[in-house]
Structure 1
């Protein structure tokens, strides 16, 4: 059956993984009813992602209250923020997990804030989005919240397979796009051992034209991914899981358009979707992930171990000719390569479910080895190296990050109506860093090494009042941190920068009424953000990181679902976020709005499912997404420009025959809104704004087969 849009992010609707008629999540690292978890959580299922016609995180963000996804021109080149905690520093503020293992670097020199894992929506069971700091259970870089992919596990009982073929068109694109996916799950030994495998490929045509070179549709992209998994339960008490994931993204050019200040055209007569790069700016990303877990149930508690290794290799090129090319009278491609290798291990002992007291203790370790290199080339206009000048500049930033942590979490069920949950985590990170900067033409060579060590304690406390099985109110105080590290190796610079800290206060309600025909999840929150990692000028006019300033984010989030009759449902998600600096520093003025955070975002959805005779069914749905105005940098910055909000209309429909064949159709951005996901002052194209546009009107049809 097709599931249309209204179920998106309905925190208490029947939209997630199910145990009977209940939604279950693993937000607290144990399987629980979503209704019972004293955390603000949204869930989006893999089926919902597929049925919407979306293929990347920007397609779903508006359906999750408080989530902002700022794409930087290609799938896998995105920045996440939750509750206004935008990454104004050099690393991520939202933790990313793939099942039970963290993904992405925690260090400050690896641009983790912009390279968020963006998996193709296939073989994904659900997304869990946890709002507010999650430092106690999930550790570093989750000061705004957590984004968790939960993958589909092999089926121990039944042979299952599915396949999908899809074609779609995008306004302003000359070519048609297509996608194909397939998955199979095979029980090797009934009720004991099963394996599964999947593959997916998506080719998206470009829709931005280069008015300088005359090339059309320059920003085409190819995404492909594969997954293999094994589930083995040789004994009812023993579970072993193995998983491997591979994903690759190749874009001939990044999806960045240029426009004049105030939204004026790039040139006289130029269309909105235009660029004027002199050189190609490709983006290539390859992600590999391997994990293994083992869990044994002793009766009173379960002992589990999860081990993972991930590797992210990114290569991208920017056209810096208009910045550096004038120094030598040529072209200046600016290639950058990032290689991240991350090993993690987590061991947990988790008590059995109890009516009085539940607990968990754990140990976590991660070891990262990262390399970040940048080169400014010096080429003539025939793309040949200029002798004695090429390369114009070289920067190398190899670094390592190790973290050790112990944590605990417990829930005291003092009565049927009152529960108290608390957690504590101690962590230590050790980092090393080497910097090499060379400008051969000037005879300049600067280098140095740095180290840092820091210990951090985070905690959470959550009282909850259970009014009845369908209604719960809660409060939560929680802390999180974003690691610091060794600083730029130059004279006069501080040798290290400390971690950022966030303390969050929230209260919420999760309730269902009228035999669950109406459900609501709502919360109010305030986050205090201390020791912001900001850039400050030092001797010679070179900037380095310092801890300076504070910020506060406060707001309201709500998700409402109404099902007046069987098959018909309406949904509404809403978030109001007021995120501002609260202290004047060199980087921010008291009262400045934080960048890329809309004060208001909302989504309204409708869905109707009905039978077509005895062996077929249909579903139609639609949604309106609204993202409010934002600002590109803190308001007092000379680089701050306003970013106008946008609204989009999406429609989808499906017909299923015999529970095996499904024909789907969808339209995204039906009104062809010229929305701006992000806009910034162009650093490599002086005098212009660099904008990531909303994907133009897209029509698609798909055929799904399952058995």
Structure 2
């Protein structure tokens, strides 16, 4: 096999061939309840399902943030990258389009290929648990329209939520049908982005119909959003090269055949279609734009397309002595990512042809197909008892295929005889897991209780590695397999000092599954799971007679046997490499000072670093983990005022700030830093309960920041350029919604 590997630039960090790797103005927390007359303005109670029970956010012994769909709508975000910075400790790194995102919580960054943060839609998980479906680079980026609220659970969630939740969990809670109310809502918006080649526009609608009062209802929704491009390409003369189209639909049914039984069914579809990424080219030496600050430099389009289909069914049956829940899901995700790899492989053409062929073009395509089934059954005791418990079982099966194709053409796009295709790689894999879990809460006094839980899981994996082409040494086929047992735990004492103050500590573990390794001489046949233990202490308080919410937590996480995407002689593989530690604090506050005002201040400090040298990724002892800012914070302010008749008005904004980050270990040859940046978002609107009109401005100060970076290095080791993901320029829009 050749010593020159295929290197994909699957941003934010390039990764080698094989090992399942590609070639390569929002207020946070509770909403405000404002009444008329002399009644007080108080913070509303927020109900979450963090522990798979309905609980008050302020009494859950864990660090949880909630962002409602109504709050998100104020600034009309297009995805996670637009609102994640308002959630403390939540890092989202975008490669330039919705759906190409990497997420991290509490400094547990994606230094391997499997995810470190889990994703749920309602009661069921979505996304791969294995190393070969690229889950870390293509996290679920659900369009916000159909979301009731987003729950972010910080810290390991392995006991209740299973594999790949080491940093925490991102949970989308969708809108549910109403059994008694017929409702139709529809909306449209128009916006303009500075330097863009046209207008952005979107339409959306939803209908809720009770078919049998109190027993059966259905809800259907659909949306379409088109955003104009603002990146130019002087190399080809093309302008506005990065338009993005998003569309989706969802249908849900809620059936209550008896007072004690509820059945929820849902089918969700979402599609992202992007012509190019929002990426600008920078000089690798001076780190200044090679052209304009919104100019890319590629000869071919770098497209991204993703189709997601997700089906789920949940049964809840109140047995009086316990509640029985059965949650089933099936999902299918198809992803196609196109890359112009000419700067990486084009210079190899003379080497492979003895100088007969000049450097040319190297189009690369990555295809990912993932099918996943999940089934969970659990029994949950009634809440509010001196002894509460939960017992459950979980099963998942997933089948994924990763396909990589690297072509070789001359500068006019004609195939190079004898060299095209340079590489064909197919990596089919299967992941199967079974788990049992349980927890119990014992009230030792009326104010003090202790919760403890365990989860045992076993996974089995199969893997094939099918390759062909000059760059990978010709045709070859290899297989691999692995199996492992993993035990995770959680212990959490809680003291409710009074109705407004809760103190807690939490010790918890989690893991990321290992799996078969690339079949090459000298490499272990599989990699082990990496694991961590987290130590956390927190306070949750509601002060000033219900006008101030103040929550804070400190944490220390020890991470070992980290799964590293490494390479040797250009050939990519996986290894368990080294240890890391993440320590820090996070806080979130909401203050209602009166007169319709709501103020918020949230932030996080995260010190995440390698413990010891990790030569395979160029990391030295105490090097920062990639993609994690040390400091981040947000400030929000909103005011609601009464207008004539039933009309109310609101206006406000938010400022989000993120510290500097690295795309890799700071001492690695490919390391590039991204400077800290701040973004101001503004919004204003009026509503009478039926008609709502909103104006919004994202990036009001038109910050020229870049949010992530990757170093583009040729196959012979020459650094060609830095690709920087560009923050969307100032976007001003108007949105109209009607509900009746």
TM range (shorter): over 0.9
User: Equivalent residue for 1:337?
Assistant: 367
Preserved CA contact (<8 Å) 1:12 1:35: no
Is 1:460 the equivalent of 2:490?
Answer: yes
SS in 1 for 2:316: strand
| Aligned ranges 1:151-550 → 2 under 5 Å | 151-261=174-284, 264-267=287-290, 270-326=291-347, 327=349, 328-329=357-358, 330-440=360-470, 444-538=474-568, 542-550=571-579
Verify the 8 A CA contact 1:169 1:699 in the aligned structure 2: yes
Aligned residues: 695
Alignment CA distance shift 1:290-1:57 (3 Å)? same
**Mapping of residues 85-104 of structure 1, within 5 Å:** 85-104=108-127
1:557 maps to which of 586, 594, 598 = 586
The farther-off stretch of 674-683 and 459-468 is 674-683
Name which of structure 1's ranges 438-447 and 41-50 shifts more when overlaid on structure 2: 438-447
CA shift, 1:264, in A, is: 4.3
Does 1:605 pair with 2:636? Answer: yes
- Tell me how far 1:677 sits from its aligned partner: 1.3
Q: Which runs of 5+ in 1 are unaligned?
A: none
1-structure distance, mates of 2:208, 2:43: 22
Counterparts in 2 of 1:620 and 1:387: CA distance versus 1, 3 Å: same
Q: Aligned partners of 1:181, 1:700: CA distance in 2, in Å?
A: 16
Q: Of residues 664, 679, 683 in structure 1, which corresponds to 2:694?
A: 664
RMSD between aligned residues: 1.7
**Is the contact between residue 318 and residue 334 of structure 1 (CA under 8 Å) also seen in structure 2?**
yes
- Do the aligned residues in 2 keep the contact of 1:12 with 1:510 (CA within 8 Å)? no
CA deviation string 1:536-566 (max 9, x = no partner): 455x553421112100000010011111114
How far apart, CA to CA, are the structure 1 residues paired with 2:504 and 2:609?
A: 26
- Identify the range of structure 1 (194-203 vs 606-615) with the bigger mean alpha-carbon deviation: 606-615
Aligned mates of 2:333, 2:713 — CA distance in 1: 26
Could you say which residue in structure 2 is the equivalent of 1:640? 671
| Secondary structure of the structure 2 residue equivalent to 1:43 | strand
Aligned partners of 1:12 and 1:511 also within 8 Å: no
Q: Secondary structure at the residue paired with 2:46?
A: strand
Contact 2:226–2:245 (CA under 8 A) maintained in structure 1: yes
Residue 57 of structure 2 corresponds to residue 26 of structure 1: no
Indicate if the aligned counterparts of 1:650 and 1:668 stay in contact, CA closer than 8 A. yes
**Shift in Å, 1:693:** 1.0
Contact residue 201 and residue 227 of structure 2 kept, 8 A: yes
TM-score by length of structure 1 reads 0.96
Question: What is the aligned counterpart of 1:576 among 571, 591, 605?
Answer: 605
Q: Using the alignment, how far apart are the partners of 2:477 and 2:532 within structure 1?
A: 33
Partner of 2:703: 673
SS of the aligned residue for 2:145 comes to coil
Match of 2:107 among 64, 69, 84: 84
The 3-state SS of whatever aligns with 1:22 is coil
| SS of aligned partner of 2:272 | strand
- SS in structure 2 at match of 1:219: coil
Distance 1:443 1:557 in 2: 50
Q: Within 2, Cα distance between the matches of 1:674 and 1:170?
A: 13
Quick one: distance in 2 between partners of 1:668 and 1:468?
41
Mapped to 2, the partners of 1:525 and 1:215 lie a distance apart of 49
TM-score between both structures, scaled by the size of structure 2 = 0.92
Q: Tell me how far apart the structure 2 counterparts of residues 435 and 160 of structure 1 sit (CA, whole Å).
A: 52
Q: CA deviation at 1:606?
A: 0.6
Contact 1:320 1:333 in 2 (8 A): yes
Q: CA deviation at 1:445?
A: 2.4
8 A Cα contact 1:447 1:489, kept in partner: no
Relative to 1, partners in 2 of residues 1:434 and 1:6: Cα closer, same or farther, differing over 3 Å?
closer
Distance in 2 separating the partners of 1:595 and 1:535: 13
